Amino acid sequence: MTPIVDKITAPKRILILMANAGGGHKSAANAIAEALVTKYQEGVVVEIIDSLKEIAPQPFDRGGDLFQLVIKSPKAWRSLYEIVDGPRRSKIINSSISLYALRNSRKLLENHPADLVISTYHFANAGMLETLARHNIKIPFVTVVTDLVTVPLIWFDTRTTLCITPTPQAAQLAHECGLKPKQIKVIGQPVSSRFYPPAKAKNQLKKALDWNPTQPAIITMAGGEGVGALDEITNLLAPLEATIAVVTGKNTNLYEKLSTEAPPNVKVYGFVSNLDEMMRAADLIVTKAGPGTIVEALNSHLPLILYSKLSGQEDGNVDFVTNAGAGLWQPKLSEMASTVRLLLDNPATLKHMSEAASSIAQPGASAEIASTIGSLIGLPA
């Protein structure tokens, strides 16, 4: 394939700041990097940095571990969310982060010089923007919001060059926080190009995964951390005449437990690299309302049942899915099996939900984000 950039004396250096702290920050960063390299090939050099490890001072560099602990307690999460949300509180927090992270941000830029910086993690924005301003470093800074609808206001720093949002609702919040219209662009949530609708019959895709090709298949998961009621949901769904593909993510204890106890129709996986293949083969996914998983499922035209959410931050995600008809909200675990059985007994309903998922999917978001970013540093859009 001939690269889109033919005559460049030196590749453009792009630095992406993310964090291993849930919320799809890492997967969004990977999707953007993939799209940039696909479009510009040797015209760009992309580096992805875990901002918590490289920028955050102690003890904030352990933020990923704290996230894993807090999300296990809905009350603790709600309290933390209320502390950091709100226009005034978010500005105070951003100002504090700017000062604490200033030294490490400067060091990061010295070690990883860039022509443009992208952030897919809200807490990385203020420190880097303050560093750019104080040292008069004239390079674009792009914020890529990875929350769908109910977005923590700490995402929005008026010093950003461009803020890319996944929905008009998120763009409106950016405007309310003081960003100008020219600083805001609604494009969508970046997702790897590996997530796309099935091109083959599902029975063929199931057979390739060693799933029963004659039965419906249901993915159950709880984000990368594998927390919450995943164990209980698996036990509730196991009696169904269906393949239950449980993705435990980083939860090794749950993986080991389910692996020794699961009946033959329950397939237990840890942290997987082929979730795209599983989503194309599946007929339904039962998951928490994390933005990354939702958009990956929508791009795969896979109907959803959402059973839990991070209060405040993921409230809008549920409405985004259910209002479109792409999924259901079922927090009552005692009714989960009957809800799933009802859908499996009504293929027409599942087909309608799949079509609804297609209608709100954002398959071209990553490519458009790459083009938008390229145009900021002199590359062809």
- The tens digit of pLDDT for each residue in 16-43 reads 999 876 658 999 999 999 999 999 999 9
Give the separation between CA 245 and CA 265, rounded to whole angstroms.
8
For residue range 61-92, list pLDDT tens digits in order: 454 454 454 445 556 555 565 656 666 655 65
156 within domain boundaries: yes
Regarding whether 25 and 134 lie in a shared domain, the answer is: yes
Does 228 or 270 have the greater pLDDT score? 270
Regarding whether 212 and 114 lie in a shared domain, the answer is: no
Does 127 or 331 have the greater pLDDT score? 331
Confidence of residue 45 (pLDDT cuts 50, 70, 90): very high
Angle at 350 between CA 347 and CA 25, to 5 degrees: 155
Regarding whether 213 and 161 lie in a shared domain, the answer is: no
Confidence of residue 107 (pLDDT cuts 50, 70, 90): confident
Angle at 154 between CA 149 and CA 158, to 5 degrees: 100
Q: What share of the chain is helix, strand, coil (3-state, %, to 5)?
A: 50, 15, 35
Regarding whether 264 and 322 lie in a shared domain, the answer is: yes
What CATH number does the domain containing 115 carry?
3.40.50.2000
3 within domain boundaries: no
Regarding whether 232 and 166 lie in a shared domain, the answer is: no
Give the separation between CA 261 and CA 195, rounded to whole angstroms.
31
Confidence of residue 102 (pLDDT cuts 50, 70, 90): low
Regarding whether 120 and 76 lie in a shared domain, the answer is: yes
Regarding whether 158 and 99 lie in a shared domain, the answer is: yes
370 within domain boundaries: yes
Whose CA is closest to 298, among 216, 373, 234, 361? 361
Q: What integer pLDDT is reported at residue 222 of this predicted model?
A: 85
Regarding whether 165 and 93 lie in a shared domain, the answer is: yes
* pTM of the predicted protein model: 0.86
Average pLDDT of the chain?
A: 87
Give the separation between CA 129 and CA 95, rounded to whole angstroms.
11
Regarding whether 245 and 121 lie in a shared domain, the answer is: no
Give the separation between CA 156 and CA 154, rounded to whole angstroms.
5
Count of the separate structural domains present in the chain: 2
Q: What integer pLDDT is reported at residue 77 of this predicted model?
A: 54
381 within domain boundaries: no
Q: What integer pLDDT is reported at residue 200 of this predicted model?
A: 87
For residue range 180-227, list pLDDT tens digits in order: 999 999 999 999 999 998 888 999 999 999 999 999 999 999 865 546
Other residues' Cβ atoms within 10 Å of the Cβ of residue 184: 22
Q: Which residues contact 251 (CB under 8 A, 6 or more apart)?
A: 225, 226, 227, 230
Give the separation between CA 252 and CA 230, rounded to whole angstroms.
13
Regarding whether 72 and 54 lie in a shared domain, the answer is: yes
Regarding whether 96 and 42 lie in a shared domain, the answer is: yes
Domain hosting 245: range is 202-360
Which structure tokens are listed for 44? 């760009």
219 within domain boundaries: yes
> Helix, strand, or coil here: 193?
coil
